[in-house]
Amino acid sequence: MSSISTQPTPRLALVTGGSGFVGGHLIRRLLSDGWRVRALGRSTEALAGVQAMGAEPVAGDLVNLASLTQAMEGVEVVFHVAAHFKLWGPMSQFRQINVDGTRNVVEAAERAGVRRVVYVSAAAVIMGLPGPMHGATEAMALHKMSFAPYATSKAEAEEVLLAANGRRAGFSTVALRPPFIWGPDMPALDHMIETVRNGQFRWVGGGGQALSTCHVDNLCHALVLAADRGSGGEAFFVSDGEDTTLKSFLTRLLGSRGVTPKDRSVPFGVAWAMAGLMGAVWQAFRRKGEPPISRQMLRLIGKDFTIDISRARDELGYAPVISPADGMRRMCPGDAAPANTAVDQTRLAVA
């Protein structure tokens, strides 16, 4: 009598924002772990991109509740990665995608019988007026500042998400709060390189600000853990587990592409005043694009900001899977460490 081998059915996940930087890395991680992955996309290009990675492409939009609900049919876990990430723009745009979009994701997940929604929030949700923050924890209050529409909208979206936890039996929500996300093919690096080459790059306050970072592989690892671990209705900070300084980190990051920033600096107070003036000009004359400097950007990188990941370690079982040093080596052609770290020769991670 022949025996019939039964293989467990792969778990099905939906990823929003799968054609983006974090979403693409997450899709590849999930597939390597044996998940079936469905990815939401708005454009033909986005759908083709996620299909090329091995995910099942599904046409949909965060503002279309019906398409979201249909996309989630049979899905166990939704990884909500999609976001409107800009350093400048009207609050209405941020709220439409980040807040209303998250509200639609949650409602669709409840309707479709999804077990858990894991949301990529942001460490910036606790940033208020500029000031140093060391070892920030989840106990700190959320802040909503008019000059920071991205961080404000992410804070509002997180509130929407976590409030929905347990609203239906068996339904839970979790938010992860990474700081500066980096890694191979990060889109922000090209912009920074262009700024340096154009002679527009300046260190704010000398660049000595303490900084927590999160490699994209570490974030994806935390997302996968959060699919099954951690109390619902909670937020968790995640990072590389080693802090650095802005100058040390960006010098090595730019050095991985053979670019060395000059040692030119502007005081934080001067930069803050300039950003306010530029913001007023952009609003008054309805100029397109982003101003060269914004207060939201300065709030993100202008002062010390480090986080404590003890809760993620304890409740998610999280530990970084790649060190900052190894991550930086992988940024370089030939998997070699950058040869020129001109401005700051210190190790990437500092105590």
Which residues are catalytically annotated?
Answer: 150
- Pair 314, 218: CB distance under 8 Å: no
Cα–Cα distance measured from residue 290 to residue 157, given in angstroms and rounded to the nearest whole number? 23
- Pair 22, 181: CB distance under 8 Å: yes
Q: Which helix (H) or strand (E) is 120 found in, with range?
A: strand 116-120
- Return the closest-CA partner of residue 226 out of 348, 107, 311, 327: 311
Cα–Cα distance measured from residue 281 to residue 223, given in angstroms and rounded to the nearest whole number? 40
Cα–Cα distance measured from residue 262 to residue 265, given in angstroms and rounded to the nearest whole number? 9
**Secondary structure of 293-341 in HEC code, one letter for each residue:** CCHHHHHHHCCCEEECCHHHHHHHCCCCCCCHHHHHHCCCHHHCCCCCC
Q: Helix axis angle, 44-53 relative to 21-32, nearest 10°?
A: 30
For CA atoms 50, 54, 60, 61, the dihedral sign is negative
- Return the closest-CA partner of residue 136 out of 232, 205, 239, 224: 239
Cα–Cα distance measured from residue 59 to residue 70, given in angstroms and rounded to the nearest whole number? 10
Alpha helices in the chain (DSSP H): 21-32, 44-53, 65-71, 91-94, 101-112, 149-163, 187-197, 216-226, 246-255, 268-284, 295-301, 310-311, 324-329
Query: Two tokens at 133?
Result: 């923050």
- Return the closest-CA partner of residue 77 out of 254, 188, 215, 223: 223
Neighbours of 266 (CB within 10 A): 15
